[in-house]
Structure 1
Amino acid sequence: MSALNNTHYQPPFFILKGIPGLESAHIWISIPFCILYVTAVIANSIIIFIIKTEASLHQPMYFLLSMLSGTDIALPTSVIPKMLGVLWFNSREIYFDACLIQMFFAHTFTIVESGILMLMALDRYIAVCNPLRYTSILTNPLFVKMALAVFLRSVLVITPIPFLVKRLPFCISDVILHTYCEHMSVAKLACADIRVNIVYGVIIALLVIVLDILIIALSYLLILKAVIRLSSKEARVKAFSTCTAHVCVIAVFYTPMLFTAVLQRVGHTLSPYVHIIVANLYLIIPPSVNPIVYGVSTRQIRERVRKVLCTERAFPLKDT
């Protein structure tokens, strides 16, 4: 009986394997991830600073963009620093509770980002289909309520996941075949039935991610219908241009997510490192690309950056 109890326990810590099969290339693999992470933090910080300091950008569209940038800093920060520790310094241990905390934040900010993209699609729908009523419909109090609802939804749907993992008994194996504490990668280590974890993960995917995608698709179908009705070609081009950046960001965020989901279902013949690399790219590519897309596509942000650069050239810092 004592031996049985010793084989079912919660380990004090897990061992993050990193990228199985590519251990000899960990240093080289970490370089692009590090560059992308630094780019994400710096570029998104610039976006937030510009929106905060430029009074003309204090509008719902740009508040949503600042929320997206904040999420794009928080999401990779919950994963990448520890991942780099694994790849650079072989610092593989992560305490059990720390693993659950990382799991919570990684999945929560993923759901938050999906919700923000959904709100941005609704914002573009109102701006294109009801431009004259835009400010009266999307008021600041309504915007705050929607943003708070997106955040609370994410917290509420993800909060059960750490508890579902914590209730599981674990066997001798404590090696996570991943670079971070992804829900199912940890749950699969348990020596118990994990069908509840699997079903709950599917429910989240269907009721949150798929619902957001459907709302985004419906918004853009209505936008397309409204734009086609415009008589002027210039008006149609202008209407489409206001949505270009958002469409690019949607593609960058959801494409790797769907690709990861497909790999998990049908990619069993592929090497494990393919799944892990794709999962990590899914967490770092959107945060590093989004601010560049909006910086290039949004005239107000481009002009603000140009203004800052011109000011520095006109009044260069002098040595004291």
Structure 2
Amino acid sequence: MQQSNRSRFSDPKFVALIATLCCLLWGSAYPTIKLGYLAFDIMPEDIASKYVFAGYRFVLAGLLLLVLFRATGKKVLSLSKSQLTSLLVLGLLQTGLQYIFFYVGVGNTTGVKGSIMNATTTFFSVILAHYLYKNDKLGKNKIFGCLLGFIGVIVVNFHTDLLEFSFSFKGEGFVIVAALIFSITAIYAKKLTATIDVLLVTGYSLLIGGLALTLLGLGLGGRVTHFTPESTGNLIYLALLSSAAFCLWNLLLKYNKVGQVSVYNFLIPVFGTLLSALFLGEQIMEFKNLVALLFVSLGIYMVNRTRKEVIVSQSSEALRSSR
């Protein structure tokens, strides 16, 4: 079963399909969260209630994965003390601390700048992988591909706000810190999945981080009320997309190089913009959206081209040595 998963999740076409699906799901969170704020009557400046809302979302997502894991006949609590400690750290950092910085940062900057700053996740992931893994080094194609993807993010978010060269540590700075935390913890999660089932790693991470966000939000006076069929459906969808996207993403990281997977993150703001336009009634057929998608697609191609060149190089070397 393990070998079957490795074969499937290492296939380039399958990786591209699943990574794109994850980014599509995360991109759909943009308009869904906005609609959720409206449905639950959460004001833009009410950060505490946003923490509670996010906490409910991740607690539910974590529970869904743990129930699914239990349904396979395995024990949810069959972990050592050190493994539980590792999952506690992952949950508090990846789901808890990351979103604390993210929500505060987004609340103190424009949506345009926040989206672009959050795209630095890919750069952090690729750079960290370069120093942590011998087989995931930076090359010309990978650097060029990341730059193309970043240009795509800038294009899709292009607005007059972008021309205002201002920087606030509690705004753009916090979003960058959130991106760095996500990059570090994604690599940490990859390490944990070597010995712990991906469902357990993801489920506990979401549950623990969600509980932390909920308690923090409630402690700061946040509240989430107005539960209706519409608002409840919104929350359930967010939980489902989180459980599916994070679990699949961790599976991809488990069986592939960090750099090969992380570059797909550039698709998230593109999908977010397109889906926000579709569901929030904004203009969708803008030329810049098509240009952005082109840049991001080229960036992904360039980064993954590195993988093909390595395989060809290894094959050639093997052929020469056999002569």
- TM surpasses 0.5: no
What TM-score do you get using the length of structure 2 for normalisation? 0.24
Higher RCO (CA < 8 A, seq sep 6+)? 2
Which protein shows a greater Rg?
A: 1
What TM-score do you get using the length of structure 1 for normalisation? 0.25
